[in-house]
């Protein structure tokens, strides 16, 4: 891996670190978005380490997994940032990051940082009981929603799990007809009215460029 021009005479700075390189520790559900933003903004010095998106099914495991990834890479990078929101950890992820001296993208979950906090709050106040999809969830609806909830084996549980939901809102990062179709199919499978809101990458782009 080539060193930046301003450190070519001393590529390791004598300490084994990669000069000026940054690592983003991200949820696997954000991999496409982070890579797209890297290309869009010319962030060639930013590397990506993704943790399994399935951790969202056991959010209590996220902080330890993030800590382990930070510690495994601390000696290789001068900067590390975390592309996770709180994601159901009840504040424990923030405590871990404070101990490790690493920052994360603000927000309770990816829906909020994609939509933006004010827009997401408006969505919540507009109608109670919204079920949200992102591009990732539209693409992997069966493996991330249907199968973990056991709805593939017991479809009758749909009425139990989704009795109090009033709509499915697709927060779209891209304009992709195939994903639109998948999101509409997901709404139909859950028996919910469908709405689409185009968010783009929301706060994720600002977070990456500021951290880099």
Domain boundaries, given as residue ranges, for the chain: 5-104, 112-198
Confidence label for 111 from pLDDT (cuts 50, 70 and 90): very high
Which CATH architecture is the domain 5-104 placed in? 3-Layer(aba) Sandwich (3.40)
In this predicted structure, which of 1-5, 84-88, 180-184, 187-191 has the lowest mean pLDDT?
1-5
Give, in degrees to the nearest 5, the angle at Cα 36 between 93 and 117. 45
Between CA 199 and CA 41 the distance in angstroms is: 18
Asked whether 25 and 80 are in contact (CB, 8 A), the reply is yes
What value does the mean pLDDT of the chain take?
91
What would the pLDDT profile of 90-110 be if each residue is shown by its tens digit? 999 999 999 999 999 999 999
Asked whether 160 and 175 are in contact (CB, 8 A), the reply is no
- Closest to 123 in 3D by CA, of 30, 207, 195: 195
Between CA 171 and CA 68 the distance in angstroms is: 31
Position 148 scores a pLDDT of: 95
Q: Which pairing describes strands 46-51 and 103-104: parallel, antiparallel, or unpaired?
A: unpaired
Q: What would you report as the CA-atom Rg of the chain, rounded to the nearest whole angstrom?
A: 19
What would the pLDDT profile of 11-49 be if each residue is shown by its tens digit? 344 455 554 799 999 999 999 999 999 999 999 999 999
What pTM did the predictor assign? Answer: 0.86
């Amino acid at each position: 891996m080539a060193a930046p021009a301003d450190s070519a005479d001393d590529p390791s700075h004598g300490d084994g670190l990669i000069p000026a390189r940054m690592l983003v520790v991200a949820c696997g559900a954000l991999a496409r978005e982070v890579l797209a933003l890297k290309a869009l903004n010319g962030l060639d010095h930013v590397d990506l380490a993704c943790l399994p998106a399935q951790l969202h099914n056991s959010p209590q495991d996220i902080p330890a997994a993030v800590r382990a990834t930070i510690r495994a890479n601390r000696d290789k990078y001068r900067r590390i940032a975390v592309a996770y929101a709180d994601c159901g950890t009840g504040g424990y992820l923030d405590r871990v990051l404070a101990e490790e001296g690493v920052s994360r993208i603000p927000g309770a979950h990816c829906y909020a940082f994609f939509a933006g906090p004010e827009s997401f709050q408006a969505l919540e106040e507009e109608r109670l009981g919204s079920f949200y999809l992102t591009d990732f969830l539209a693409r992997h609806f069966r493996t991330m929603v249907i199968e973990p909830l056991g709805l593939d084996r017991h479809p009758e549980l749909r009425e139990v799990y989704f009795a109090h939901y009033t709509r499915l809102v697709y927060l779209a990062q891209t304009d992709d007809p195939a994903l639109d179709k998948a999101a509409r199919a997901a709404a139909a499978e859950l028996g919910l009215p469908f709405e689409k809101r185009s968010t783009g990458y929301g706060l994720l782009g600002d977070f990456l460029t500021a951290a880099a």
